[in-house]
Amino acid sequence: MQIQLTTTQPLSADTLILPIQQTDDLPEVLNALADRFNLTPAALQHDFKADFREILPLYQSEGRKTYLLGLGKELTAMIWLRAFRDLFFRQKDRLTPTVGVDLSGFDADVIESVVLGIRWGGYDLKLHSTAKPKTTEFYSEEGVLEIYITDQQQGIAEEVLHRAEAIAATHRQMLDLMNSPSNYKIPQVLADWAIASGQQHGYSVTVFDKAEIERQGLLALLSVNKGSEHPPVFIIAEYKPDNLPDAKKVGLVGKGVTFDTGGISIKPSTGMHLMKSDMGGAAAVLGTMEVAAKLRLPVHLIGIIPATENMVDGHATKPGDVIGSYLGKTIEVIDTDAEGRIILADGLGYMVRNFQPDVLIDLATLTGSVIGTLGYHAAGLFSNNDDLTSQLLKSATQTGERLWPLPLWDVYKEDIQSDVADLKNFSGKPLAGAISAAKFLEVFTESHPAWAHLDIAGMAFTDTEFGTQKNATGFGIRLLIDFLRNG
Ligand code: BES
Ligand code: MN
Ligand code: ZN
C-alpha cells in the first residue's frame, strides 16, 4: 500500500474516512454531513454519536462509501492511532483498493498517528500459520491511501509522513520479533537482525559471541546463560550523526531474554509461553536505533543488548550461587527467575565503563510487581534526575506510551543486601519488587547522574482485540523517538 498526500478535492478514493470529534458542535457537523450525503439530519444524529471508535458506513452512488469514524471527546496521539488501527483492522476486507482519509483542518502531527494506526491495522499475527489469509486489496501492492490535507498543512506534512513510515516499518519488524516463538528466536537471531539493520541504515553493530563475552568478563550474562544450549550474545550498536561531533550521547540498554523459564526457580506453567516476549526491552532499543538512524536524528546513540535464554538443566545457575559481573561486584542469586537485572548489570556496567553517555536509559520486561502496581496501562519510570524524568513524562504524554514515576529511595537498599556477596538479586519478600529491582540496577550505573530505568513488563505484550492471546505492542519506540527528537 502506498500513501499519498493530496490537497485537491474531491478525492479519487471509493472509500472515504471522515474522523469526527465529539464536540458541542457535533449536531451542526452532522447536519452539514446530512446535507452533503442527502440524509435525514435527525436520523444521522440519532445513529452516530462520535464515540471513540464508533463507525458508521454511509453508502453513496456508484459504489462509493464514506465511513464516519468517532474519536470521542479528547484528541491524543494514542486516540488517533487506536481509532484508525481499529477501523482498518475490522474493516480491512471491506475496503476498496483506494481509501481516502480527510485530515484537513487537523494538526499535521495527526498524520503520524493515523499512518501508524493504519499500518498496524494491517498487521498479521499469523507468522506461522499455513493458512495465510489473503492480502486484502487495500493492503496489497496496488492499494493506495490518500490523505487529504489543506495547503497550510502541506509544508510539514511530507516530513511527518516520512517519519511515520519510518517508524511504522521498524515497528512492524519489532512486533514480529516479539511475537516470534523462542524456537525461532534464539539470541543470535537478535544479533543477526541488528547486523542487517545496521548495514541497511548506516550504523555500526558489534556482536560479542560467547568466547568474546568470556574474554570481556561479562560474568553475570554468562551465569544466566548456563542452563541454555544456545550461546548468549552481547550486541553493541552505535549511531553517530554526520558532522555533529558534539551531539548528545544517549546510551540505551535493553533486556534481551529470548525465553524466561525462570531457571531452577522455575515459573508455573500457566502463562509461561508468554515469556517468549521477555526481550521487549531489546526490541524497544533495536527499534529506536533503527528509526533514529533512518531519520538521521542529531543524537549520538549507543544501544546495548545482553541476550540469552533463561533455561533449566544440570548446568544452570542454582539459587544461592554467587556469581561475578563485568564491574567485578559479586551477586548472590537468591532467585534464578530474577535474571533480567543480572544481565542488565553487565549491560549497564559495560555501557558506563566504555561509553560514558550523557543520558543512560534502560528498558526491561523486568518484574511482575510493576504490573501489580500499574497494571497494563503504564510502565514504571525510575530516575535519579528530575529533568530526565520530566522529559520522559512529556514524551509519554505526547505519544500515549504511558510512564509513571516510582521511587528510588535508599531505604529500599536493604532488600538487596547480601550476607555473603556484594548484593543479592531478590529480597525474598513479595513486596515492592519493581523498586528493589531498580535499586539493584542502580548499583551498576556507577552513580550515573542522568539514568532512567523503564520497567515495561506490563506494556510490551498485552491483551488486545486483535488476537486471542497477549501480543506485542512495540512499546517504547515512539516514546524514545519522541524523547530523542525533543529531549
Ligand atoms: N520476565 C519476568 C518479569 C515479567 C513478568 C515480565 C510478567 C512480563 C510479565 C522477570 O524475569 C521475572 O521473572 N521477575 C520475577 C522476579 C522475582 C523472582 C524477584 C517476578 O517479577 O516475579
Ligand atoms: Mn524471570
Ligand atoms: Zn525475565
Of the candidates 49, 267, 413, 470, the residue annotated as catalytic is 267
Residues 185 and 92 in one domain: no
**pLDDT tens over the chain, length 487 residues:** 999 999 976 667 899 999 999 999 999 999 999 999 999 999 999 999 999 999 999 998 888 999 999 999 999 999 999 999 999 999 999 999 999 999 998 998 999 999 999 999 999 898 899 987 778 999 999 999 999 999 888 889 999 999 999 999 999 999 999 999 999 999 999 999 999 999 999 999 999 999 999 999 999 999 999 999 999 999 999 999 999 999 999 999 999 999 999 999 999 999 999 999 999 999 999 999 999 999 999 999 999 999 999 999 999 999 999 999 999 999 999 999 999 999 999 999 999 999 999 999 999 999 999 999 999 999 999 999 999 999 999 999 999 999 999 999 999 999 999 999 999 999 999 999 999 999 999 999 999 999 999 999 999 999 988 899 999 999 999 999 999 999 7
Distance, in Å, from the CA atom of 382 to the CA atom of 374, rounded to the nearest integer, reads 13
Residues 162 and 204 in one domain: no
Centre of ligand 1 to C-alpha 463, Å, is: 18
Of the candidates 119, 341, 424, 439, the residue annotated as catalytic is 341
Query: Domain tally for the chain?
Result: 2
The ligand 1 atom at the shortest distance from the C-alpha of residue 365 is: 6
The verdict on residue 309 lying in a domain is yes
pLDDT digits (tens, 9 = 90+) for 321-352: 999 999 999 999 999 999 999 999 999 999 99
What CATH number is associated with residue 482? 3.40.630.10
Using CA positions, which residue lies closest to atom 7 of ligand 1? 368
The verdict on residue 174 lying in a domain is no
Residues 400 and 341 in one domain: yes
Residues 156 and 219 in one domain: no
The verdict on residue 171 lying in a domain is no
For Cα atoms 151, 10, 19, give the angle at the middle one, nearest 5 degrees.
75
CB within 5 A of ion ligand 2: which residues?
A: 260, 337, 339
Residues 95 and 6 in one domain: yes
**Dihedral angle over CA of 105, 111, 117, 119, nearest 10:** 130
C-alpha cell at 278: 521477555
Residues 155 and 205 in one domain: no
> The pTM is what?
0.97
Residues 73 and 194 in one domain: no
The ligand 1 atom at the shortest distance from the C-alpha of residue 437 is: 19
User: At 22, phi and psi to the nearest 5?
Assistant: -85, 85
CB within 5 A of ion ligand 3: which residues?
A: 257, 260, 278, 340
* Catalytic-residue membership of 294: no
The ligand 1 atom at the shortest distance from the C-alpha of residue 433 is: 19
CB contact set of 470 (below 8 Å; sequence gap of 6+): 274, 277, 461, 462, 463
Of 140, 166, 192, the one marking the end of a domain is 166
Q: Is 339 annotated as a binding residue?
A: yes
Q: Is 337 annotated as a binding residue?
A: yes
- Structural domain for 15, as ranges: 2-166
The verdict on residue 62 lying in a domain is yes
Residues 392 and 438 in one domain: yes
User: At 77, phi and psi to the nearest 5?
Assistant: -55, -40
Residues 94 and 200 in one domain: no
For Cα atoms 101, 60, 91, give the angle at the middle one, nearest 5 degrees.
50
Of 111, 141, 166, the one marking the end of a domain is 166
Centre of ligand 3 to C-alpha 55, Å, is: 40
Least distant ligand from the CA of 274:
1
Amino acid at position 348, single letter? L
Neighbours of 219 (CB within 10 A): 21
The verdict on residue 173 lying in a domain is no
Quick one: pLDDT at residue 135? 81
Residues 228 and 294 in one domain: yes
Residues 195 and 156 in one domain: no
In testing the pocket of ligand 1, which one of 366, 427, 469 has its CB within 8 Å of the most ligand atoms? 366
Of 132, 166, 200, the one marking the end of a domain is 166
Centre of ligand 1 to C-alpha 338, Å, is: 6
Residues 242 and 143 in one domain: no
Query: Edge-to-edge strand order for the sheet containing 423-424?
Result: 322-323, 331-332, 423-424
The verdict on residue 317 lying in a domain is yes
The verdict on residue 66 lying in a domain is yes
Using CA positions, which residue lies closest to atom 19 of ligand 1? 338
The ligand 1 atom at the shortest distance from the C-alpha of residue 370 is: 21
Q: Which residues line ligand 1 (CB under 6 A)?
A: 260, 262, 278, 335, 337-340, 365-369, 426, 433, 457
Which neighbouring-strand residues pair with 404?
A: 380
What CATH number is associated with residue 60? 3.40.220.10
In testing the pocket of ligand 1, which one of 273, 276, 367, 436 has its CB within 8 Å of the most ligand atoms? 367
* Catalytic-residue membership of 90: no
The verdict on residue 175 lying in a domain is no
Centre of ligand 1 to C-alpha 486, Å, is: 32
Quick one: pLDDT at residue 127? 87
Least distant ligand from the CA of 365:
1
